[in-house]
Amino acid sequence: MKYLYTTDLEEPVVFPEKALEEMKKVPGVVFTTGKYCEYARPLLDIGWAIQVHTHPRFFGYEHDKLKHISDVGVLKSIIEADRTAVEKTLNVKTTCFRAGKLSMNPIVEEAVRKLGFLADSSRLVPHVFRLTPYWEPYMHNGLLEIPIVHCLDREDKDINFNLKRIWIGLTASAPVVCLLHHPKRVIERPSVVSWLSRLGTFISIDQVIEEYRC
Ligand SMILES: [Zn+2]
């Protein structure tokens, strides 16, 4: 099993040395908002990829869901504002998007595609007990969709996660599984990263894009 390890950063987070030591072992991805992207710098320094994360609450909206905005032009402008802030602050180029609260629909997807992103990772696979390998990344209208198979919200004793990974392992030969691990959880139990690395190989977002984009 190949893992794409991701986290989201949308508030001030200070990663302790102990967490960074663990996180350094994997080619992770942090999706960050323009507002707080400075807090992602330690992850950039340990070699992680920086990508774009948009929460409309930082743009004056009372709600926090992109799918509640129906104008593609407006969506493009707020996502682009985040992208510009992230790229300028951290001096990186971004290729992938994740919607805040995983709030995605075809209109948001259109905005992301029109902005030239290569990939989007804003959809959670609800449950995995089916035969089709729908947890795998797939091309959709020119955009690579990387579904999130699992949020590691609990810890390494997560029965739900273990059942899913066993099932995926049985039904596919070299599946790519996108994980979402919240910063607070990594900080609480950084050893989960080591535990995961004994279960499979980690690959980078660039490798996923290269392997699945056609
Ligand atoms: Zn978020």
CATH assignment at residue 132: 3.20.20.370
Could you report the per-residue pLDDT of 36-51, keeping only the tens digit for each?
A: 999 999 999 999 999 9
Give distance in angstroms: CA of 9 to centre of ligand 1.
Answer: 6
Which long-range CB contacts under 8 A does 159-163 form with residues at least 24 apart?
A: none
165 pLDDT band (50/70/90 cuts)?
confident
Cα–ligand 1 centroid distance for 35 (angstroms):
12
- What is the chain's mean pLDDT, rounded? 91
Q: Is 179 exposed, middle or buried (0-12, 13-18, 19+ CB in 10 A)?
A: buried
pLDDT of residue 37: 98
**Residue-number span of the structural domain to which 146 is assigned:** 2-212
| Cα(120) to centroid(ligand 1), Å | 14
Q: 121 C-alpha to center of ligand 1: Å?
A: 12
Ligand 1 centre and the CA of 116: distance in Å?
Answer: 21
At residue 127 the predicted structure's pLDDT band, cuts being 50, 70 and 90, is: low
- Whether residue 134 contacts residue 125, with contact meaning beta carbons closer than 8 Å, is answered with yes
What per-residue confidence (pLDDT) applies to 149? 86
| pLDDT given at position 126 | 67
How many domains are there within the chain? 1
Cα(31) to centroid of ligand 1, in Å?
Answer: 8
